[in-house]
A and B are shown apart, each in its own frame.
Chain A
Amino acid sequence: MRSVPVATACVLYHRFFEHVSMRAYEPYLVAMSCLYLAGKVEEQHIRARDIINVSHRYFNSGCTPLECDKEFWDLRDSVVQCELLILRQLNFHVSFEHPHKYVLHYLLSVKSLVNRHAWSRTPVAETSWALLRDCYHGDMCIRHTPQHIAIATLYLALNSYGVELPVGEKEWWQVLCEDATKADIDAVISDLLQLYDMDAKCI
């Protein structure tokens, strides 16, 4: 699954639980339906059977795949039903603007500011893309605007490698997005770093 459908699925999931309580619905079922729905929205259709199979595998690792019997079909029905529920809950607003294309455009713009050899040596693109994908492990994707997330990931990536950009009257991020402030960027970054902390604690 590509990054954008994954992002859509995450946003769907977090928006859904914005509206309803986590206790009312089984979160894993909602997650499966979100994946299914996101595949449809972003035109990268994933079959429900694959989603169910992989989820089943995840919860019971190592066991044989589900037989195509009543249990399977029941599960599939509930996924589809839940998909309808999500659609109604979100009032059928299921297409979102994602930071992905901002990041990529910004990357190209920033790239021409830097010496090409320095740029090709530094994996800024990979890092910012990884940071962006990692953003979706939490609910920050619905708490910040896409532009801010894009700028923050790029900022962190550049900062990590100590890439220096020319400074003019305005900072580069101010140009890319008018209403971005340093505080906004710092907020996104601190959210993201908290996610990494969480990840470290889980292991």
Chain B
Amino acid sequence: MDRDLLKQCLACHGDSLFNKLRCEQTENPDFQTLVPELCKVTSESTGLEHGGPLVEQFIARKADILFCPTWKTTTPQEEEHEEEDEEAAEPYALMPPLELFMEVSYDERRSMLYRDLERGDMVVGRINNIREYGFFLTLLCMAGGLRRDIEDLELSALCHIREIPSTGNHDDPLSYYQVGDFIRAGVKDIDRYQEKITVSLQPASLSPSLGHIKLGVVTKEELPVHYRRSVRAASDCSETYECILMSCHGYHNPSVVDYLLEKVRISDTHPPSMMRGLQSKLFQPEDFASAIRKKQSASWALKCVRAGVDHFKHGRHVEAMNEYNKAMDIDTNNVEALVARGALYANKGGIVKAITDFEQALESCPDHRNAKKYLCQTLVERGKQLEEQEKLVTAEGLYRRALSLDDSNPEAQEALHKITDTIQKSIRLREEALAKEQAKPTSSKTSADKLRKILKEEKRMKKKRKRSASSSSSLSSTSSRNSSASSSTSSSRRRSKKKKKKQRRRSERGSKRHRRVSSSRRSEEGKSEKDGRKGQDEDEVEWYPAPPNTSATFLNQRGGPGKRKVSCSSADSEHSRKMSCPGSASKHLENRSKRNSVDGGRYEHRGREDIVEVVDVKRENQGSVEEDCGRADAGLGRRSESAGNHKEPTGATSAPGSKKHLPANLLNIFTQIAQFEKGKGVGPRK
């Protein structure tokens, strides 16, 4: 208990409070130790009755709270001086001193000022006399924290010449000042007995919190706001405290309460209360809203994950994905949701996405068993993928990472061994090749041809390998239906070209996507027939697919062998790039795979099944916007088809008459597709 405060209180209230206190606080050991001391104070007190017995009862009962040292949260701290000069910006109502309205007597106010004025305070006065040793001020008002009504107290203060900062070469600093100037000055010294005040214009004379304020001459407009208001109030008796308060801008500030709370240093987030039932120690931290919400969100998210797993088990992968995403929305960084989503991605071939999900899950929960296991498996899978693309070093890194998660993973160990061998082998091979090249430099033309051949071979090999890989991975019912449908179109096309028309009709009956494929295929055929070289050319083109997003290059490809070479290499590089990031590039792959399904045989098609699968999932996830796009696209295809049908009577193959119209149509379609693809690429990507 705060001894001084209690003494002060008892000195005011006297005996009756003391008796009540002794009655109420019998169990308080703190109070019991203070009793003898307080006894003395009480006997000396005047015993003046201030509040009624009820108030005394209240004080006595709450004494342990009221006089508890921790009750006082504010620290005695010098308050910041706020700029008072701008009336428009005042954050709260700056009121004139209260004693102005209370009409406190002259003597009392004067003695109060001498009691409370301190060195470092700031005052404002008017010069009334200038002597050779300094000038005298008549004090008008206080500036800074303490606000008192002193204008009519006839206080005069001396500012010695030493206290006026000299301005360099000028000899007499006093010549700057004239009688009647308003001066802002800091209090340097007060003699309380002889009632003398000396002030200073040196900035050091102010207390540190006021240090930034410039001392010296001020204009009438710069006088403190409260002083101007008190002058107005003094001249007009009808101005009451309330009136002035209401007329202040600051009073109507909507955040005035928050501002002032900070100013008087009361915490509104842990507010004090004297209700014993509401002392904050009685509240458990887990009873607060944020804690409950967190718990609730977690359980809700888990529920979603459970539903998602259920969907997944029944093969409804899209619904499962939706549930997982919902769970993540509800509770970000939900580990279970992340792991489940990662597993789903891995199943669907989005290995990179799966890896990021697992990594994120492990980040927030490093000991998650399933996450570790799955991540390990996925890393090995990804490593194999990279290995196929000859990115041996990256693959090696992945295997190492997998092993760091799980030392005893036999698959990863084996793969790592294998890959280190291959890396060494390839380094040796490269060195040999380098040596060979140096030995017999050949002409650039033949080497380019060679390169092309090598690339062709490599690709073929890759596809073979991929095919075996994809056959091992499980296929979803939807995607397998899709891919088999599209592969059947292309394979049947290969079987015989005479059946082309039938095929076309069949494809018209098919799905939207299907139709799109067939239409583009058809138009391409028209093109190729126009060029007059069918079989051979197409077989070649099959291995050199064009860069997917530009229809122009595709058309150019037909132009001549020289150009084809260019597009071949670019397509190849693009191919490898895409393989390195199947997640983001799957959009382009879709286009490519579609075109490939046109050109290519069943062989290649099987190889791409896993990619198509990813694409399908993505497309279904992306919702209605794209569905619309697809519909528009399909509509276009239909239109071109009807155009084609219109020409049909002229001949079995496309007639010379259609030559002129078809390319225009084709270009139209291709640009549409290209735009669509581009739009998709920019669109939602997770």
List residues of A whose CB falls within 8 A of some B CB: 2-4, 46, 49-51, 53-54, 57-58, 61, 64-68, 98, 100-101, 104-105, 107-110, 112-113, 115-116, 120-123, 125-127, 129-131, 133-134, 137, 147, 156, 159-164, 166-172, 175-178, 186, 189-190, 193, 196, 199-200, 202-203
Cβ of B455 under 8 Å from chain A: no
- Interface stretch (choices B66-74, B617-625, B651-659): B66-74
Given contacts A67-B299, A125-B266, contact A199 B102 (CB under 8 A): no
Nearest residue, chain A, Cβ from B287: A57
Residues on the B chain within 8 Å of A159, using CB: 12, 50-51, 55
B266 lies within 8 A of A126 (CB): yes
Binding site of A, secondary structure by majority: helix, strand, loop or mixed?
helix
A130 lies within 8 A of B146 (CB): no
Instruction: Report the bound CA distance from A99 to B354 in whole Å.
Output: 58
- Interface stretch (choices B237-245, B549-557, B589-597, B638-646): B237-245
Cβ of B410 under 8 Å from chain A: no
- A-contact bits for B242-269, CB 8 A (1 contact / 0 none): 1001000001000011101101111011
Smallest distance from the beta carbon of B190 to chain A beta carbons, Å? 14
Smallest distance from the beta carbon of A127 to chain B beta carbons, Å? 7
List residues of B whose CB falls within 8 A of some A CB: 4-5, 8-13, 50-52, 54-55, 57-59, 61-62, 66, 71-74, 76, 92-93, 95, 97-99, 101-105, 108-109, 112, 115-116, 118, 145-148, 240-242, 245, 251, 256-258, 260-261, 263-266, 268-269, 271-277, 287-290, 292-293, 295-296, 299-300, 303
Smallest distance from the beta carbon of B141 to chain A beta carbons, Å? 12
Given contacts A126-B72, A175-B241, contact A200 B11 (CB under 8 A): no
Instruction: Report the bound CA distance from A120 to B75 in whole Å.
Output: 8
Nearest residue, chain B, Cβ from A4: B257
Residues on the A chain within 8 Å of B260, using CB: 101, 104-105, 107-108
Instruction: Kindly identify which residue among A2, A65, A133, A203 contacts B292, using a CB–CB cutoff of 8 Å.
Output: A65
Sample 13 A-B pairs with CB under 8 A, ordered by A number: A2-B268, A53-B293, A54-B292, A68-B303, A112-B98, A125-B74, A137-B275, A160-B58, A162-B12, A162-B50, A169-B103, A176-B242, A202-B277
Smallest distance from the beta carbon of A167 to chain B beta carbons, Å? 7
Smallest distance from the beta carbon of A169 to chain B beta carbons, Å? 4
A175 lies within 8 A of B102 (CB): yes
Instruction: Report the bound CA distance from A177 to B108 in whole Å.
Output: 23
Known: A104-B256, A105-B95, A166-B104. 14 other contacts (CB 8 A): A3-B257, A104-B92, A113-B98, A123-B72, A123-B73, A126-B266, A126-B272, A129-B261, A161-B66, A166-B112, A175-B98, A178-B242, A190-B54, A193-B57
Given contacts A54-B292, A130-B273, A156-B55, contact A196 B8 (CB under 8 A): no
Nearest residue, chain A, Cβ from B45: A162
Residues on the B chain within 8 Å of A175, using CB: 98, 101-102, 240-241
Residues on the B chain within 8 Å of A105, using CB: 92-93, 95, 245, 251, 260
Given contacts A2-B268, A166-B104, contact A134 B293 (CB under 8 A): no
Smallest distance from the beta carbon of B532 to chain A beta carbons, Å? 68
Smallest distance from the beta carbon of A112 to chain B beta carbons, Å? 4
